[in-house]
């Protein structure tokens, strides 16, 4: 490990900003965290992220002094990252991890030069080791890509139907009708059928492995829980179960957080961890891939720290071997 790094977080009062704070606070390779929030500047961090009471009672800063940091995390809303970078000149030594969708791959940029490296270690860890700017993937995008990458790598990904369900924290902190407890408790509701905004980055990523990306039909649902994403993919597959398991085992051989489970999986196995668990079944000429992760960790802040570890030459799992919630 190099010497410890100093980080800034812009937008540290939001849900992903808070989760990042929870991680970095305990990260042995980080020595200083500047937590910025426009709306909460001056208030104690633990008055917003109230689970940090007794741990992080310092106030949010109004600005981050970019000259004194090594790495800047952008946890502002979608659109705000691009706006910030347009109006700000960062010192060249400051590296950047953006958690918004502003700089993730878009369908029309697949072959272009990208300023940002797409931050999915399971796709191209070698690029992240050298990256200066990283666009951290979306939560559904991560769960779906990890379910499909080994098939794309083998060139055998066909038309795929996906259903995914997400916890309420995926929708953030801002008030929306669909976040009213009286409505959401015990409820299931679909949204953005076949048009979810993460499809672009998924297709761009798959296209680096399989030249022709087949149609992906994705149905997202809102779930009645706070944390986690569960996705099931169904795709035609000509081999048997063992051959599919081989593809996945080989692909994820060196991935420390993505595991193929022999047993059926459920969402709670991954909560408060940086893991993505996968389980395969073959029936009636179809491969069924189940994929589960914690949307705030492997789907956001955990993956961002994983990327930070890679960018700064630390062990990939540093600070991410978390005690699971389990229940």
Q: Which residues are catalytic?
A: 139
- Does residue 26 bind a second copy (CB under 8 A)? yes
List, as one string, the DSSP characters of 186-240: T--EE-STTT-TTHHHHHHHHHTTSSSPPPEEEEEEE-SSSS-EEEEEEEE--S-
End-to-end CA distance of the chain: 34
What is d(CA 195, CA 310) in angstroms, rounded to the nearest whole number? 32
Who contacts 320 (Cβ-Cβ below 8 Å, separation ≥6)? 23, 257, 274, 302, 305, 306, 309
Question: Would you count residue 215 as binding a second copy (CB under 8 A)?
Answer: yes
Map tokens 């069924």 to a residue.
Answer: 288
Query: Which one of 30-38, 100-108, 225-233, 242-250 is the stretch in contact with a second copy (CB under 8 A)?
Result: 225-233
Instruction: Compute, in degrees rounded to 10, the torsion defined by CA atoms 1, 298, 17, 171.
Output: 170
Greatest extent of the chain over all pairs of C-alpha atoms, in Å: 60
Interface region with a second copy, contact rule CB under 8 A, candidates 76-84, 99-107, 135-143, 171-179:
171-179
Closest CA to 299 of 230, 197, 222: 230
Decide: is 186 part of the binding site for a second copy (CB under 8 A): yes
Q: Give the x/- contact pattern for a second copy in 273-312, rule: CB under 8 A.
A: x-x-x---x-xx-x-x-x-x---x----------------
Q: Other CB atoms closer than 10 Å to residue 50's CB: what's the count?
A: 10
* Among 110-118, 127-135, 147-155, 214-222, the segment contacting a second copy (CB under 8 A): 214-222
| 193 sits near a second copy (criterion: CB under 8 A) | yes
Choosing from 43, 190, 240, 313, the residue that interacts with a second copy (CB under 8 A) is 190
Verify binding: residue 68, a second copy, rule CB under 8 A: no
Only one of the segments 66-74, 135-143, 157-165, 203-211 lies at the binding site for a second copy (rule: CB under 8 A); that segment is 157-165
DSSP-derived 3-state class of residue 55: coil
**Residues of span 240-279 touching a second copy by CB under 8 A:** 257, 259, 261, 263-273, 275, 277
Number of residues that bind a second copy (CB under 8 A): 82
Three-state DSSP at 318 gives coil
Kindly state whether residue 326 participates in binding a second copy, applying the rule CB under 8 A. Answer: yes
Q: How far apart are CA 66 and CA 47, in angstroms?
A: 25
Give the one residue of 92, 185, 211, 242 binding a second copy; rule: CB under 8 A. Answer: 185
Binding mask 89-128 for a second copy (x = CB under 8 A): ----------------------------------------
Out of 47, 106, 208, 210, the only residue in the binding site for a second copy (CB under 8 A) is 47
Q: To the nearest whole angstrom, how small is the minimum distance from the Cβ of residue 110 to a second copy?
A: 19
């Amino acid at each position: 490990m190099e010497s410890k790094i100093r980080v800034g977080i812009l937008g540290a009062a939001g849900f992903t900003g808070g989760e990042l704070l929870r991680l970095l606070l305990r990260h042995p390779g980080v020595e200083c965290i500047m937590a910025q929030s426009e709306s909460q500047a001056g208030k104690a961090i633990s008055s917003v992220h109230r689970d940090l009471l007794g741990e992080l009672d310092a106030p949010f800063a109004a600005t981050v002094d970019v000259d004194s940091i090594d790495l800047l995390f952008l946890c502002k809303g979608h659109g705000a990252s691009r706006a910030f970078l347009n109006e700000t000149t960062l010192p060249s030594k400051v590296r950047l991890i953006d958690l918004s969708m502003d700089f993730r791959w878009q369908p029309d940029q697949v072959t272009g030069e990208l300023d940002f490296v797409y931050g999915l270690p399971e796709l191209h860890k070698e690029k992240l080791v050298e990256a200066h700017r990283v666009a951290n993937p979306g939560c559904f995008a991560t769960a779906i890509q990890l379910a499909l990458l080994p098939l794309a790598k083998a060139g055998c990904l066909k038309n795929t139907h996906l259903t995914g369900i997400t916890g309420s924290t995926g929708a953030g902190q801002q008030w929306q009708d669909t976040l009213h407890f009286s409505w959401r408790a015990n409820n299931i509701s679909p949204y953005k059928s076949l048009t979810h905004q993460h499809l672009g980055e998924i297709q761009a990523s798959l296209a680096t492995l399989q030249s022709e990306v087949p149609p992906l039909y994705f149905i997202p649902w809102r779930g009645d829980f706070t944390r986690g994403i569960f996705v099931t993919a169904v795709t035609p597959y000509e081999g048997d179960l063992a051959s599919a398991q081989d593809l996945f085992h080989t692909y994820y051989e060196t991935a420390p957080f993505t595991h193929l489970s022999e047993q059926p999986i459920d969402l709670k196995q991954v909560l408060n961890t940086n893991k993505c668990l996968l389980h395969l079944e073959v029936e009636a000429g179809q491969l069924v891939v189940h994929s589960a992760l914690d949307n705030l960790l492997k789907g956001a802040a955990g993956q961002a720290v994983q990327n930070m570890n890679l960018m700064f030459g630390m062990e990939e799992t540093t600070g991410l071997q978390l005690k699971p919630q389990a229940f």
